[in-house]
A and B are shown apart, each in its own frame.
Chain A
Amino acid sequence: MTGSWVPVALSSDLPSGTVLPARIPAGPLALWRSQSGRVAASADRCPHRGMSLSHGFVRGETLSCIYHGWSYGQAGNCLRIPAHPGLTPPEAIRTVTHPVAEADGVVWVAVGEPAATPPGLAGLVPLRSITAFVDIAAIEAAAGAKATAEGLLDAGDIRLLLSSTREGETLIHVLIAADAGPAERIAAARTAEALRRRAEDIQKKGAAQ
């Protein structure tokens, strides 16, 4: 195995017909779900004039750039250039795409050549995603526990799936038992905020030393 699956977003945060910004080590992504429900991950840059595609819009089965409306398919090929309605866009116009898998309510993007399927979540379901302006080490310090190679961290009162998005920034997916009720889920959502506060304090103090 020479790669890994990066948990970039929760399935519930990406309804049909929407696009959102995400991040893997190779850089920013436009993660989008077509009207029929298919998820795709494209480099977050329109090859035409460099506009971020995550600011764009999804119509039917295509992702369009907000700047000039250039549309792209799942495979990253340009399908339409509105300034030239009669033109079939040349093959050379395409965005870089990455393989995507959806499992356990999480959208995963393949980096390199990972295992056939993303790691499991030990019977848990995702609750929400939050971003912390810290490295994973600060979250581990705040939680008093180490994350597994897959990024799973058991902090006792809360369980997390961690993904480093860039230096000094970590995406935290909060996990919870599938049968937890609303009160328990709201409590977990707040516990995650408290953990983030502690982790950001730790990182700040570390930086000050």
Chain B
Amino acid sequence: MTVGPMFDEWYPVGIFGQLDAAGRKTMLMGEPIVVARDDNGDAKVTDGTGRSLPVCVRYGHVWTSLGDPKKKLFAIPEADQPGRRFVDVGVVRVRCSPLRAVENFLDIAHFPFVHTDILGAEPHTEVQAYKVEIREDVDEVWATQVEFYQPQAAKSASGGITTQYMYRVAGPTSTVLYKTCPPRPSEWDVITLFVQPLAEDLCDVWPWMALFDDDTPMTDLIHFQQTIFLQDRSILENQVPRLLPLDPGMEMPTRADLTSVAYRRWLKRHNFTYGAQLVAQ
């Protein structure tokens, strides 16, 4: 298996604030790498042969690439907005394709069944029509005007509300969610899922958030997001096949899945197929 064009993309490989000189031994697309701090306290990533890899520290995490990134890491302007709190949720390993992890994050229809009484609840299961596009100027997948009824949308929410969302695929394994911010209706909370592909069927997931919420203790914010992601994990580890099928005959989307359909199309267009199954087996 050659990695293909995904080789030259950026991937998260650790929380910058938790790195020490001893470093973190991990994998990136089958290659052993070490993520550490150098003598100046800067992040440093080396591969199995000792070669230094490109490094970028952003959104609480260290990012690297096995290849030669053609573009700078995608921008999240909210990360520089005063008043937000930044939450490093911590790593969770999942035995699934990194692409499946992203696709699940883009999905709202599972809320009533998987995140019951938190992000959704029967009988409020209907997914209203929303807009999906591939924005050619930035080369990103965007879903907008997404709405869903939620019993407890965020740690700062009390009681049910109809929550508005926007979804954004910023890289093959990086996705950003903009969501109704209960304390500040004019702003969006930012919740991301950064996925480190360890292998085609194994990934480390690094959720990160930039929220307007001055009241909730940091630990509660972390635990809310860990709760949500751990509910997803038991789904992700039981999907068959483990790789994301790009063959349209293999799985059956509906209107509610238009974001996932666009994501798969965008992956195919770029030949981003590490973690994908191309032909039905």
Contact = CB atoms under 8 A, between A and B. Distances in A.
Contacts of B110: 67-68
Interface in B102-132: 109-110, 112-114, 122, 125-127
A84 to B, nearest CB: 6
25 contacts: A47-B251, A48-B252, A49-B251, A50-B241, A50-B245, A50-B251, A51-B235, A55-B238, A65-B113, A67-B110, A67-B114, A67-B235, A68-B109, A69-B113, A69-B125, A81-B254, A82-B125, A83-B125, A83-B127, A83-B254, A83-B256, A84-B126, A85-B125, A85-B126, A87-B254
**Interface pairs A-B: 6 shortest CB-CB:** A82-B125, A83-B256, A83-B109, A83-B127, A52-B238, A50-B239
Given A52-B238, A81-B254, 19 more contacts: A44-B240, A47-B252, A48-B254, A50-B240, A50-B241, A50-B245, A51-B240, A55-B238, A66-B235, A68-B110, A68-B113, A82-B112, A82-B126, A83-B109, A83-B125, A83-B254, A84-B127, A85-B125, A87-B254
A134 B116 CA distance: 40
Interface string A79-93: 001111101000011
A84 B256 contact: yes
A45 B109 contact: no
Interface in A71-110: 81-85, 87, 92-93
A152 B112 CA distance: 46
A178 B244 CA distance: 49
Nearest to B256: A83
Contacts of A93: 252
Contacts of A66: 113-114, 235
Q: What class of interface size applies to chain A in its complex with B?
A: 20 to 34
A48 B255 CA distance: 12
Nearest to A51: B239
Nearest to A21: B238
Contacts of A49: 239, 251
A138 B262 CA distance: 51
A180 B125 CA distance: 51
A47 B250 CA distance: 8
Q: How large is the interface on B (under 10, 10 to 19, 20 to 34, 35 or more residues)?
A: 20 to 34
Contacts of B109: 68, 82-83
Contacts of B241: 50
Contacts of B235: 51, 66-67
Nearest to A90: B252
B122 A82 contact: yes
Interface in B229-274: 234-235, 238-241, 245, 250-256
A48 B251 contact: yes
A39 to B, nearest CB: 22
B275 to A, nearest CB: 14
A69 B239 contact: no
Nearest to A54: B238
Contacts of A87: 254
A87 B125 CA distance: 13
Given A83-B127, A92-B252, A69 B240 contact: no
Contacts of B113: 65-69, 82
Contacts of B234: 55
A2 to B, nearest CB: 26
Interface string A53-68: 0010000000001111
B279 to A, nearest CB: 15
B96 to A, nearest CB: 11
A69 B115 CA distance: 12
Nearest to A43: B240
Contacts of B126: 82-85
Contacts of A47: 251-252
